[in-house]
A = this chain, B = another copy of it.
Amino acid sequence: MDTLDVLTWRDGHIEALDQTVLPHQVRVLHITTVDQLIEAITTLAVRGAPLLGAVGALGVALAVGQGDREGWDRARLDAEVKRIADARPTAVNLRREVLAAAARIPRGRAAVEAAALAVARFADEVSQRLSRRGAGWLRQACGGGRLGDGKLSVHTHCNTGALACLGWGTALGVIRALHCDGALSHVIVDETRPLLQGARLTCWELGQLGIEHRLACDGAAPFLISQGMADAVVVGADRVAANGDVANKIGTYSLALAAREAGIPFVVAAPESTLDAATPSGAAIPIEQRPDDEVTVPAAPAGTRALNLAFDITPRALVTAIVTEERVITDGPVAR
């Protein structure tokens, strides 16, 4: 995937791949209003913490343009910008980049656009640095791998590649860097219910990259790990609290428990922008609850209620290493 395919700023509007219909359809959304953008974010047509940062920043530029066309006053513009920042509560990148772009509003529309485009370009560069750092650390930590041939098998969750992050991605970027180094055996991908980002998006990206992989059900993952089928678990993050607790896609906590039990590293790959010094611990991270019908339809009887948390919190004590584009944090707090 080229960055331009996932997210483009063209003639004052946003073009984004609709990630709800991949891999069976490749459809580009043309987003020209704040309402359309919020719809795209809340339905997860556009998703992934770093990508949400970039699309949020571009969303501020979009809002400024829509305000010019429709004659909004500053209060209305601020309200629309706040709606974008609040569209999903767990990922810190969305709110952070929206607020950063909004701070440029007094300098004019061109300044907002330039700042937003810089976010997207920076995300690409950051992902490659992070990926190489993570791959290097893992090769040291895992030695020759469980088979002793220098090739690692990696268990991952959800989708953390170009679709989620631009560039190489976070966890999937680390996997790609291992592959480029000839140090990857294969990847085990959780399907990631309820929205199946692993089955739909990660399998597709790995296929495009020619990386060997197997798909597994989320409930199977801890047992597969217990059976020695992976040298490491590598996941992304939606927010890392100051104490190192990690919010990530629901299902992550179970992998961390299993990795500790199996004695393999549990690694979180996340850019510095995902580390949130203002949030002291996981208990302070808001966890998005999504509609019941994502879980209940079509299998359960009509009227069945669900518990549908979009994210979970993995306590710091279960995290072996947090890899960013700048450092590998193996103990102590993450705030600098």
Contact B219 A295 (CB under 8 A): no
A221 at the interface (CB under 8 A from B): yes
CB of A254, distance to nearest CB on chain B (Å): 4
A262 CA to B48 CA in the complex, in Å?
A: 30
Report whether B253 and A222 are in contact in the complex, using a CB–CB cutoff of 8 Å.
yes
Q: Interface readout for A137-171 with B: 1 if CB under 8 Å, 0 if not?
A: 00000000000000000000100000000000000
Collect the chain B residues with CB atoms within 8 Å of residue A42's CB: none
Q: How far is the CA of A250 from the CA of B225 in the complex (A)?
A: 13
A-side interface size class:
35 or more
Interface hub of A203, A222, A224, A296 (most chain B Cβ within 10 A): A222
Stoichiometry (number of copies): 2
**A292 to chain B: which residues have CB within 8 Å?**
215
Q: Is B215's CB under 8 angstroms from A193's CB?
A: no
A residues 246-283 in Cβ contact with B at 8 Å: 250-251, 253-254, 257-258, 261
User: Is B296 a contact of A215 with CB atoms below 8 Å?
Assistant: yes
| Cα-based distance from A301 to B312 in the complex (angstroms) | 27
A38 within 8 A of B: no
Q: In the docked arrangement, what's the CA distance between A241 and B303, Å?
A: 39
Interface residue ranges, A against B (CB under 8 Å): 23, 157, 188, 190-194, 196, 199-200, 203-204, 207, 213-224, 226, 229, 250-251, 253-254, 257-258, 261, 292, 295-296, 299-301, 303-309, 312-313
